[in-house]
């Protein structure tokens, strides 16, 4: 999903500048100057009505990168003060998203709309197609009554001229649970009681108005401390850079990390533990089990579809297990998960073994800010190599296949189903499975919130297909996962 759009490039430049500011001897001043340095006097105004609005938006983007909520900003607090607060805080904020309000376009509400292409044809199939009486003819043209329209799109489908369209609000349209909507000012507002932290709104907003609250300053502080800092590198990282995972890991060592663990190592533990869980559930007569690795899916079950809870594996995620291994090997270390999505940032806040989370975009910005050339880095040798299946967790179908291989000596009836991306329709279908009102098409359900898997998370750098291809190629270098028992000393949760 990620591409080199202007919103992405702007966000990265803000991150790079703030990292450089932190590493300078004048962080507060560099933060204060950021909007003016990026849009100096008499500079060309490429996107907005005036230079003042562009500076205001850059200021709010910087607030998000500094880990604060734009919604709580009073427009008067200097960026330097936010920079100081980021230095003083002991822990990241407990919400992971914020809305850059000045950047929000206040889009026209979602609706079905008749365009000027309408020819007022004699057949008028749009009127007969609507079961709700929302379409009528006025002055020889189709008109839709918004109070009656249910958004079924039947009129769109039958119009011979394609004159009827659906106007979408990208962030609202992308959210699978309706957690983002307009407030009284017309700006996007997130309902965190429903939000899954899936990051779909971040990826889809063409104005970059929904942003992650970064922990990059917290990570930089840890790197400058006397504590050992361990990077936990997610499998999807193999598809993000022109170089392989080994050189990316070496880049992280150059950036100041003391060690790098491959999260695919934790994925091997997850696969073995989940295979055992699946076997036990099938033996006791459960109709199906869903995987537990996608943090956004777990938030969905907790907040929106509790009926699915009995069917979710109790196994912890690869991130959790890898962090446990790190804490065991390096007592009192600081763990930093380096991954693809917003949901992992939320999971990190809930998991005592994870100290901070950095997405791939922030990792790339760190390399740029420190002038680290990955192609010149040596190959990092991971102390414990991971399996082919563990590395493939990042791609849709990879988790289910790992469970199949890990449990090959167990249940013979293995019927996998992949939920490749969460949306309202899929959620309704899964709810019916849980309520036993619909036939479940399989007995092991792999759920990925992002289409294509972790390789298309909102924090990724590369497009989904290219990233998936690279991850699969890297996975092929690993050994087959052996179906032996998982490490029982590691906690499930």
Q: In three state form, how does the secondary structure of 92-109 look?
A: CCCCCEEECHHHCCCCCC
Could you give phi then psi for residue 150, rounded to 5 degrees?
A: -105, 0
321 lies in the same domain as 464:
yes
The average pLDDT across 253-274 equals 97
The token duo for 101 is 């309000």
Q: Which of 38-42, 64-68, 398-402, 405-409 has the lowest mean pLDDT?
A: 405-409
| Alpha-carbon separation of residue 159 from 128, 132, 178 (angstroms) | 11, 17, 29
What is the pLDDT at residue 110? 84
pLDDT at residue 409 above 80? Answer: no
Strands 164-167 and 111-114: antiparallel
In the chain, how many domains are there? 3
What is the pLDDT at residue 487? 47
Q: Residue 150 domain-assigned?
A: yes
Dihedral sign computed on CA atoms, order 247, 250, 254, 255: positive
44 lies in the same domain as 159:
no
350 lies in the same domain as 225:
yes
What is the pLDDT at residue 411? 73
98 lies in the same domain as 143:
no
229 lies in the same domain as 372:
yes
Q: Residue 480 domain-assigned?
A: no
Q: Which domain holds residue 349?
A: 218-475
What is the pLDDT at residue 44? 85
What is the pLDDT at residue 492? 43
* Confidence band, pLDDT 50/70/90 cuts, at residue 485: low
**How many CB atoms are located within 10 Å of the residue 476 CB?**
10
Residues 228 and 395: their CA atoms lie apart, in Å, by 31
The token duo for 348 is 């990190």
CATH assignment of the domain containing 128: 3.30.70.20
Q: Residue 134 domain-assigned?
A: yes
| Alpha-carbon separation of residue 433 from 149, 401, 424 (angstroms) | 29, 22, 14
Q: How many CA atoms does the CB half-sphere of 464 hold within 13 Å? A: 14
The average pLDDT across 136-159 equals 94
Whole-number average pLDDT of the chain: 94
Extract the runs of DSSP E, i.e. beta strands, from 58-121: 97-99, 111-114
| Alpha-carbon separation of residue 1 from 200, 203, 241, 253, 473 (angstroms) | 10, 7, 15, 28, 20
**How many CB atoms are located within 10 Å of the residue 200 CB?**
31
pLDDT at residue 45 above 90? Answer: no
pLDDT at residue 2 above 90? Answer: no
152 lies in the same domain as 261:
no
The token duo for 206 is 């063409």
| Nearest to 37, CA basis, from 14, 53, 19, 60 | 14
237 lies in the same domain as 200:
no
Residue found by looking up tokens 């490429």 in the block: 46
196 lies in the same domain as 260:
no
379 lies in the same domain as 463:
yes
Which one of 158, 189, 213 terminates a domain?
A: 213
Spatial CB neighbours of 279, under 8 Å, sequence gap ≥ 6: 407, 410, 411
pLDDT at residue 490 above 70? Answer: no
Q: How many CA atoms does the CB half-sphere of 434 hold within 13 Å? A: 18
Dihedral sign computed on CA atoms, order 173, 179, 184, 188: negative
Q: Residue 488 domain-assigned?
A: no
Q: At what angle do helices 6-23 and 51-65 cross, to 10 degrees?
A: 60
Spatial CB neighbours of 352, under 8 Å, sequence gap ≥ 6: none
What is the pLDDT at residue 48? 86
Percent of the chain scoring above 90 in pLDDT: 89
* Confidence band, pLDDT 50/70/90 cuts, at residue 484: low
Q: Residue 263 domain-assigned?
A: yes
CATH assignment of the domain containing 330: 3.40.950.10
pLDDT at residue 488 above 50? Answer: no
pLDDT at residue 81 above 90? Answer: yes
Percent of the chain scoring above 70 in pLDDT: 97
pLDDT at residue 424 above 90? Answer: yes
Q: Residue 433 domain-assigned?
A: yes
Residues 161 and 365: their CA atoms lie apart, in Å, by 47
Q: Which of 23-37, 80-94, 280-294, 407-421 has the lowest mean pLDDT?
A: 407-421
* Confidence band, pLDDT 50/70/90 cuts, at residue 296: very high
* Confidence band, pLDDT 50/70/90 cuts, at residue 443: very high
pLDDT at residue 210 above 60? Answer: yes
Angle at 184 between CA 182 and CA 190, to 5 degrees: 40
93 lies in the same domain as 162:
no
Name the more confident of 484 and 115: 115
What is the pLDDT at residue 240? 95
Q: Check if the beta carbon of residue 57 is closer than 8 Å to that of residue 103.
A: yes
Angle at 340 between CA 338 and CA 344, to 5 degrees: 75
Q: Residue 200 domain-assigned?
A: yes
Residues 216 and 255: their CA atoms lie apart, in Å, by 13
Could you give phi then psi for residue 340, rounded to 5 degrees?
A: -100, -10
Residues 309 and 289: their CA atoms lie apart, in Å, by 10
Q: Check if the beta carbon of residue 326 is closer than 8 Å to that of residue 230.
A: yes
The token duo for 180 is 């983002």
196 lies in the same domain as 157:
no
Q: Residue 489 domain-assigned?
A: no
Alpha-helix residue ranges (DSSP H) falling in 359-476: 360-369, 388-391, 398-406, 424-434, 464-475
**How many CB atoms are located within 10 Å of the residue 54 CB?**
21
What is the pLDDT at residue 9? 92
39 lies in the same domain as 158:
no
């Amino acid at each position: 999903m990620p591409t080199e759009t202007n919103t992405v490039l702007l966000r990265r430049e803000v991150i790079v500048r703030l990292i450089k500011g932190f590493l300078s001897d004048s962080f507060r001043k560099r933060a204060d100057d950021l909007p003016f340095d990026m849009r100096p006097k008499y500079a060309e105004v490429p996107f907005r009505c005036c230079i003042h609005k562009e500076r205001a938006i850059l200021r709010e983007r910087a607030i998000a990168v500094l880990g604060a909520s734009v919604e709580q900003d009073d427009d008067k607090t200097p960026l330097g003060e936010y920079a100081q607060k980021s230095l003083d805080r002991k822990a990241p904020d407990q919400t992971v998203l914020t809305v850059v309000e000045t950047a929000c376009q206040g889009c026209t509400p979602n609706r079905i709309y008749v365009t000027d292409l309408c020819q007022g044809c004699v057949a008028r199939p749009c009127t007969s197609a609507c079961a709700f009486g929302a379409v009528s003819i006025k002055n020889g043209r189709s008109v839709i009554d918004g109070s009656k329209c249910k958004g079924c799109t039947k009129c769109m489908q039958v119009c011979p001229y394609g004159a009827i369209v659906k106007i979408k609000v990208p962030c609202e349209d992308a959210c699978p649970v309706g957690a983002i909507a307009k407030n009284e000012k017309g700006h996007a507002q997130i309902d965190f009681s429903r939000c899954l932290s899936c990051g779909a709104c971040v990826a889809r907003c063409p104005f970059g108005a929904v942003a992650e609250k970064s922990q990059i300053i917290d990570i930089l502080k840890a790197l400058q401390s006397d504590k050992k800092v361990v990077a936990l590198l997610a499998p999807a990282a193999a598809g993000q850079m022109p170089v392989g995972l080994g050189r990316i890991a070496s880049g992280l060592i150059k950036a100041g990390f003391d060690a790098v663990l491959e999260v695919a190592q934790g994925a091997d533990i997850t696969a073995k533990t989940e295979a055992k869980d699946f076997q036990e559930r099938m033996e006791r007569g459960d109709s199906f089990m869903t995987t537990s690795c996608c943090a956004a899916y777990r938030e969905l079950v907790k907040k929106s579809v509790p009926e699915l809870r009995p069917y979710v594996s109790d196994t912890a995620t690869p991130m959790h297990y890898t962090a446990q291994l790190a804490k065991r090997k390096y007592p009192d270390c600081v763990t930093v998960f380096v991954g693809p999505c917003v949901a992992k940032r939320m999971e990190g806040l809930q998991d005592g073994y994870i100290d901070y989370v950095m997405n791939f975009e922030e990792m790339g910005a760190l390399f740029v800010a420190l002038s680290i050339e990955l192609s010149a880095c040596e190959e990092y040798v991971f102390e414990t190599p991971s399996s082919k299946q563990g590395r493939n967790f990042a791609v849709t179908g990879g988790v289910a296949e790992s469970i199949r291989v890990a449990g090959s000596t167990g249940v013979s009836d293995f019927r996998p189903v992949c939920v490749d991306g969460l949306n309202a329709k899929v959620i309704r279908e899964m709810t019916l499975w849980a309520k036993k009102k619909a036939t479940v098409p399989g007995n092991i359900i792999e759920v990925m919130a992002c289409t294509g898997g972790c390789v298309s998370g909102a924090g990724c750098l590369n497009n989904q297909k290219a990233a998936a291809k690279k991850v699969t190629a890297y996975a092929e270098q690993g050994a087959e996962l052996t179906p032996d028992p998982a490490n029982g000393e590691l906690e499930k949760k």
